[in-house]
């Protein structure tokens, strides 16, 4: 599905030199490498502040902690995403409130937002799924009218744009994952929260280091979620290539689209309001599971993101939303199939992948 080793080999010397520099410095936690990378990400996303943390999951959690979200609170989000979005809400004692998705983009449907907001709603977490922005304007209008902060889950969408603006800087905060398979991937876990709010930025910086500004003086409840200097140094190198890699992903998506043209296969929809960065290239098939089984025989990797919606997951069944509650999400979960998508794809590989899919569908 991804070729992180192939990508590494192309910039091996730069990566190796950066790693060795950190190792020889003896400064492995926080420090210059982290602060410089935070500044670079803030500039890239177009915000004032960026606060490194240990993972994208932690980014979501500390963002909600900074807002004081806890027991009795409600957080509106999508049931069609990775578990971390709901997991962090539940871990803080809050309740996830789901909104069904748009069938074309797979993102949360803003038109259904107003109906679920109550006096207990303390945040909205839209997920920019697969690398495409949520339609943010109508969502922002609802949030601003109700005085509710927005935490953008951009863990799959760094570099994606909405009406010419980078995602992450549209809401109150944005949460980034640098998991190795992401468009900008670390060599392990790493994450970041971005914001334009100076008070939230100060609070976030305390939360990720045990709730403290000064060592051994703890002002608020915090966690241990620091960004390693090594990861920051390596991500600094890779950030210089991100726009180039985004172009490569978009080019690969165009090749897929051309190869699938006329086949009847439903290819990804790119909304006119945004720039898709194709963290995933996701097609849709009525007989998805049979096709997937055939791809195994052809040695074609694939992924299903995500086969079980969050409202139907055993761990989150307390939300009390049975099958049939979110029909658009449930239908998508039965039909989506993601094909290999990364910066090292070549057209011959894509031809084989598409041919394998078409043969599997035909048979």
Q: Output the tens digit of pLDDT for each of the chain's 363 residues.
A: 999 999 999 999 999 999 999 999 999 998 999 999 999 999 999 999 999 999 999 999 999 999 999 999 999 999 999 999 999 999 999 999 999 999 999 999 999 999 999 999 999 999 999 999 999 999 999 999 999 999 999 999 999 999 999 999 999 999 999 999 999 999 999 999 999 999 999 999 999 999 999 889 999 999 999 999 999 999 999 999 999 999 999 999 999 999 999 999 999 999 999 999 999 999 999 999 999 999 999 999 999 999 999 999 999 987 788 999 999 999 999 999 999 999 999 999 999 999 999 999 998
Which pLDDT does position 24 carry in this prediction?
96
How distant, in Å, are the alpha carbons of 30, 86, 118, 216 from that of 242?
A: 23, 28, 40, 38
265 touches 256 (CB < 8 A): no
**Tell me, what DSSP letter sits at residue 341?**
-
Question: Which residues are within 8 A (CB) of 161 and not within 5 positions of it... i.e. 6 or more apart?
Answer: 133, 167, 274, 275
Confidence (pTM) = 0.96
Classified by CATH at the fold level, domain 242-362 comes out as 3.90.1150
Q: What pLDDT does 187 receive?
A: 97
What does the pLDDT read at residue 101? 98
Helix and strand numbers (H, E) in the chain are: 12, 14
Residue 131 near residue 156 (C-beta atoms within 8 A): yes
How high is the pLDDT of residue 132? 98
Type and span of the H or E element at 146: helix 136-146
pLDDT value at residue 320: 81
CATH number (3.40.50.2000, 3.40.50.300, 3.40.640.10, 3.50.50.60) of 4-99+106-239 reads: 3.40.640.10
Crossing angle of helices 347-362 and 288-297, in 10° steps, is 130
Ranges of CATH 3.90.1150.10 domains, the chain? 242-362
What is the model's pLDDT at position 363?
A: 87
Q: Where in the chain is the domain with CATH 3.40.640.10?
A: 4-99+106-239
Cα–Cα distance measured from residue 303 to residue 286, given in angstroms and rounded to the nearest whole number? 16
């Amino acid at each position: 599905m991804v070729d992180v080793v192939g990508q590494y080999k192309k910039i091996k010397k730069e990566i190796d030199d950066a790693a060795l520099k950190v190792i020889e410095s003896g400064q492995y936690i926080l420090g210059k490498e982290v602060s410089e990378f935070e500044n670079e990400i803030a500039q890239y996303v177009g915000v004032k502040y960026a606060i490194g943390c240990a993972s994208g999951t932690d980014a979501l959690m500390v963002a909600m902690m900074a807002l004081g979200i806890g027991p009795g609170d409600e957080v509106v989000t999508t049931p069609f995403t990775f578990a971390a979005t709901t997991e962090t809400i539940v871990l803080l004692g809050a309740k996830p409130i789901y909104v069904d998705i748009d069938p074309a983009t797979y993102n949360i449907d803003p038109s259904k937002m107003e109906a679920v907001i109550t006096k207990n709603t303390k945040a909205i977490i839209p997920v920019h799924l697969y690398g495409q922005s949520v339609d943010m304007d109508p969502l922002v209008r609802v949030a601003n009218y109700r005085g509710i902060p927005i935490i953008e889950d951009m863990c799959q969408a760094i570099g994606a744009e909405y009406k010419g603006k980078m995602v992450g800087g549209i809401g109150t905060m944005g949460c980034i994952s640098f998991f190795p398979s992401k468009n900008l991937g670390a060599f392990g876990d790493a994450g970041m929260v971005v914001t334009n709010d100076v008070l939230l930025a100060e609070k976030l910086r305390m939360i990720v280091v045990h709730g403290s500004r000064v060592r051994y003086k703890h002002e608020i409840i915090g966690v241990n979620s620091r960004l390693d200097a090594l990861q920051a140094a390596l991500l600094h190198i890779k950030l210089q290539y991100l726009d180039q890699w985004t172009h490569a992903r978009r080019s690969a998506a165009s090749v897929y689209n051309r190869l699938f043209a006329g086949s009847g296969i439903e290819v990804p929809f790119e909304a006119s309001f945004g720039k898709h960065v194709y963290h995933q290239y996701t097609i849709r098939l009525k007989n998805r599971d049979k096709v997937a089984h055939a791809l195994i025989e052809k040695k074609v990797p694939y992924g299903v993101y995500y086969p079980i919606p969050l409202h139907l997951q055993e761990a989150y069944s307390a939300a009390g939303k049975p099958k049939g509650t979110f029909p658009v999400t449930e239908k998508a979960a039965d039909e989506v199939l993601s094909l290999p998508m990364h910066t090292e794809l070549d057209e011959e590989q894509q031809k084989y992948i598409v041919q394998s899919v078409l043969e599997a569908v035909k048979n």
